[in-house]
Each structure stands twice: as C-alpha cells, then as structure tokens.
Amino acid sequence: MRNYLPSILLIAVFVIVWEVGARIVNTEFILPAPSGIGLKLWDLKGLLLKEHLTSTLLIIVIGLAISIVLGIALAITMTQSSVMEKTFYPIIITSQTIPIIALAPIFVLWFGYSIWSKVVVTILITFFPITVSTYDGLRSSSKELKELLLTMGASKKDIFFKLDVPSAIPYFFSGMKVAVPLSVIGAAIGEWLGAQEGLGYFSRRMMTQFDGAGVFAPIVILSLLGIIFFLIVIMFEKKALKWRK
Amino acid sequence: MSKAVLEFKDVSFQYQEADKSVDLLDSLHFRVFDGEFISIIGASGSGKSTLFRLITGLEQPVSGSIHINGEQRPNRLGSVGYMPQQDLLMPWRTIYENAVLPLEIKGVSKQDAHQQVVKGLKEFGLSGYEQNYPSDLSGGMKQRVSFLRAVLSGSNILLLDEPFSALDAMTKLSMQEWLLAQWEKRGQTILFITHDVNEALFLSDRIFILTERPVKQLKEAVVPMNRPRTLSGLHAPEVTKMKEQLIEQLRERISL
C-alpha cells in the first residue's frame, strides 16, 4: 500500500481541486462536483447496481469468455499449422485497422437491442490482444529446451504441453491485462448505441437529460469494474506464475 | 572394457551454409567402451557439438552408421542421457518436477518415478529442495539437477556438453570431483565435451582431439593416471608432458 501513496495523494489533490473548481463554476449539469457524483451514486445505488450493473457485467463476462476460447483456439491452430498461420495472421493484424466502434451500429442492425450486439463489440475489441499474445507466447518457447526434450524421446504432444503451453502462460496474462479494461469499454460503447439497460446506456440517457452527475455516476462504477477485473487477472497470474520472482 | 557401447562406422556429415554444403565429418570411425570416461576437446566450430547431436539423434549422418549398445536405429532420440551446456532447467517447474521430466516422457508410473527421483535427489545432496524453483538454487546445484535429469533418462551413456564452463573456478573443481565420484559409483559411460585441457586430463580415461576439418579420424590420447584421481596427480611429469602436447595440437588448429 505504501508504494501507492504518491498516486493516492495525487488523486486526492485532483479530486479536491475538482470539487473546489466545480463549486466556483457552479453549473451542476456541465461540471458536477465529486461530492455531487457521490450523492447521485448513493441515490441511484439500487437501480445502478441491481439492474444496470448486472446487465453490463453479463456482457463483459460472456464477451471475454468467448474471446478467450476463440483467441486461444486460433493461437494454437496458427502455431500448429503454417497454412493456418499464413491465412489468419495477416487478417487478424489488418482487422485491427477497421474501426470496430464505428461498426457497432451494424451489429445493432443485425442483433437488435439484444445482448448479442454488445457482446459482439466486446469480442471484437478484446479478441486481438488475447490471440496475438497467446500466439507469440506459444512461439516463444526455447529451442534448446525443445531439443533437450527431443533427446529424451518426447512426442509432439509432450513438447506442446510440457514446453509450449507453460511458455505461453506469461504472455497470455499480459494479453488479458490489456483485454480486460478493453472489455469494459467495449460493453459500454455497445450499450451507448443500442440498449435498454446497462451502465453505458444509463450514462448516455442522463446526458440527454443534462444530468452531469448522472453521467458520471455509472462511469465511476464502470471504472471500478475495470479495476476489479484487472485485479482478478493479477491474482490468477500470481497464482499461475509463482515461480517468477 | 570389453563391450563397445557406442560405435561410429564411416560416419559422414555435412551441414548447409549459404547454398553450399560444408563437410564436417568424413568417414569417421571410433568406438567407446562400456564404463569409459571420454573427453572430447577441440577448438570451437571443430564439430564437438555436432558429434553429440548425431549421437542423440537430433541430426542424421549423410552416410555411415551409428551403433548404440550394439544396435543401429534410425531414431535414436531418447536412447542416451544428455546434459546441455546451460543447465536448461524449466523455470516454471520445481526441482522435483524438473528431475522427473525424462521419466514423465518415458511414461514411467508416478509412484515408480517418485521413488527414483527422491532417491536421486538424496544422493545428489538436493534433499529439501524438491519444492524450490531453479531460480532459488546456485549454479552448481542447478548443474547437479541437470545431471540428475540426464541420469534419470535411464541410459547407460551420458553426454555432457561443457557442463561446468559457466561455473566459477572453485565450484568447478568441486563439481569435477563430485562428478568423478558419481561416475565411479554408477559405472555409466560418459562422453564429456570441454575446452579445458586440465579438466579433460583430470576426468577422463581417453581424450579425443578434434583438430582437422573435415574430421576424418579422432586423435586419441590415453591419460597416464591411475584412479582414484587426485589434483596433485596432474603435476606428474608424464601428465604435464601430455598436457603440453594437447595444447600444442589445439594451437595448430587455431593458427590455421
């Protein structure tokens, strides 16, 4: 905790300046004070946490789960077959130049206001870091260790499970640390464009009502959500990589 | 010392370098007998490591045959124990898990493997470190784990590729003495690559010298020292004379 003291202090200073500034400007609908946001959060806690958070959380969890399964499967396929690698790798890289956020309305067109239009945005945005990092990880295994395993009479399967997979795990977690905050963004954007519930949807609705504090309140929850997910990834990472000091 | 456990018959080997093939071994012939300790010395690039790659089966000869324990098999992988230059322990595996690796690959039952590893760790002075990771261990200890791993391959032939080159002088010395003790106890055949002439003299029965290129035959020196060896034995006149000759031969190779 001591390590974070400077950051905590800086944030505290920032919040105080904001509070004072907001009181001087005194236009709550444009620049709400942190205290105002806090009060709003408290007022709306039931609605935000029960209804909107559940909906957003579901999108994030389903989207991430599909991304992980798809990303790992594609990464493994590409390392096992050079035809697959040559086919998919360039496509995956160039797919990142497509503005996924701009595509989101298409998904609303296709999937309507159902959860899937949001899940698709989340998958598209998180799929890339997971796939590429896992793929790089699987290919990062040491050639010397591979030869050593071969001299022990190892099969292809042995090399994959005893060498390639453990070598890929640190890379996979790096990918997850990028993907998890992105998943929150993906869900929120998806909700802006076509939803009837969710924290992103609620924030946008409050904007149309000129309720500054109402815009910020769900964003605070979204950030906390991102932080919690990130901490969960770090917890798993520490557990999986306890050999790393 | 009657039975040949390893035999090269007219083995030739080439490697590809920028569109042309370079001859490295040309009809090479040699034999290693059961229970011998052989050192292989030679300048870098003289083909020492290639010899090992051929024996382990990572490379195949262009012509000729390699016989291990009297058998000639195209797939030799898994038939000799190999200890690489760096310890090459898997950092994500504990010491126990690293040592058990060859047994896992051979499909030995968990219970049986456990017995062998625990016994080995005890004999190698590594008891109590089973659950540690390689990063917790000193260089000498890591080399002992690496050697144990090679021993647990179950083969009667062990190939050691400059295993002590990264250790400091004092650790190196005690590891050499330790290795000799282990070898005397176990009676395996050891092939040992080194570029340290003293090390080769101290450890081996015979020394193979790689000088020419392509290698047509191995120059061979029988070390004139009785066992058990002591460090002071290295100062005997016939040993110092041999040492000078060996260094002379290696120097010729380098000046080429």
Output the 3-class SS for A49-72. Answer: HHHHHHHHHHHHHHHHHHHHHHHH
Residues 6+ apart with CB under 8 A from B4: B31, B32, B33, B34, B67, B70
* Minimal C-alpha gap between B177 and chain A (Å): 25
Whether residues B195 and B124 fall in one domain: no
Longest dimension (CA), chain B: 55
Whether residues B229 and B188 fall in one domain: yes
- Alpha-carbon torsion (A213, A217, A223, A227), positive or negative: positive
d(CA A123, CA A71): 10
Q: Fill in the DSSP letter of residue B215.
A: B
Domain count, chain A: 1
pLDDT (tens digit, 9 = 90+) per residue, A134-189?
A: 999 999 999 999 999 999 999 999 999 999 999 999 999 999 999 999 999 999 98
What's the CATH number where B172 sits?
3.40.50.300
Q: What is the pLDDT of residue B2?
A: 64
B242-251: list long-range contacts, CB under 8 Å, 24+ apart: B242/B201, B243/B197, B243/B198, B243/B201, B245/B221, B246/B41, B246/B197, B246/B200, B246/B201, B246/B207, B246/B209, B246/B221, B247/B197, B249/B209, B249/B211, B249/B219, B250/B41, B250/B42, B250/B43, B250/B197, B250/B209, B250/B211
**Average pLDDT of chain B?**
89
Last residue of a domain, one of B122, B154, B186: B154
Asked whether residue B213 is domain-assigned, the answer is: yes
Asked whether residue B118 is domain-assigned, the answer is: yes
Whether residues B149 and B168 fall in one domain: no
pLDDT (tens digit, 9 = 90+) per residue, B126-142?
A: 999 999 999 999 988 99
Which chain B residues touch A149 with a CB distance below 8 Å?
101, 105
Q: Most A CBs within 10 Å: which of B56, B90, B135, B159, as the mutation test of the A interface?
A: B90
Asked whether residue A19 is domain-assigned, the answer is: no
Asked whether residue A18 is domain-assigned, the answer is: no
Whether residues B146 and B166 fall in one domain: no
Domain count, chain B: 2
Cα B172–chain centre separation: 15
Mean pLDDT by 10 residues, chain B (256 residues): 84 84 88 94 83 92 91 88 91 96 94 94 91 92 92 92 87 90 91 92 92 84 86 86 88 62
Kindly determine whether residue B105 and residue A166, on different chains, have CB atoms separated by under 8 Å: no
* Minimal C-alpha gap between B149 and chain A (Å): 10
H or E, element range at B6: strand B4-17
Last residue of a domain, one of B154, B183, B199: B154
Whether residues B33 and B60 fall in one domain: yes
Kindly determine whether residue B82 and residue A169, on different chains, have CB atoms separated by under 8 Å: no
Nearest CA in chain A to B98: A162
Taking the Cβ of residue A166 and every Cβ of chain B, the question of whether any pair is shorter than 8 Å is answered with yes
Asked whether residue A133 is domain-assigned, the answer is: yes
d(CA A100, CA A121): 7
Residues 6+ apart with CB under 8 A from A28: A22, A36, A212, A213
What's the CATH number where A185 sits?
1.10.3720.10
Pairs of CB atoms within 8 A across A/B = 60
Residues 6+ apart with CB under 8 A from A73: none
Q: For residue B122, what are the domain limits?
A: 90-154
* Minimal C-alpha gap between B106 and chain A (Å): 7
Q: Fill in the DSSP letter of residue A163.
A: I
Asked whether residue A63 is domain-assigned, the answer is: yes
Taken as a whole, chain B contains a residue count of 256
ipTM value for the complex: 0.89
Kindly determine whether residue B88 and residue A163, on different chains, have CB atoms separated by under 8 Å: no
Whether residues B131 and B195 fall in one domain: no
Nearest CA in chain A to B56: A151
Q: For residue A134, what are the domain limits?
A: 34-240
Residues 6+ apart with CB under 8 A from A135: A74, A75, A78, A79, A89
Asked whether residue A103 is domain-assigned, the answer is: yes
Which chain B residues touch A148 with a CB distance below 8 Å?
82, 84, 88
Predicted TM-score (pTM) above 0.90:
no
Three-class secondary structure of residue B28 per DSSP: strand
Q: Distance of CA A84 to CAs A1, A164, A203, B231, Å?
A: 46, 18, 42, 59
pLDDT (tens digit, 9 = 90+) per residue, A220-234?
A: 999 999 999 999 999
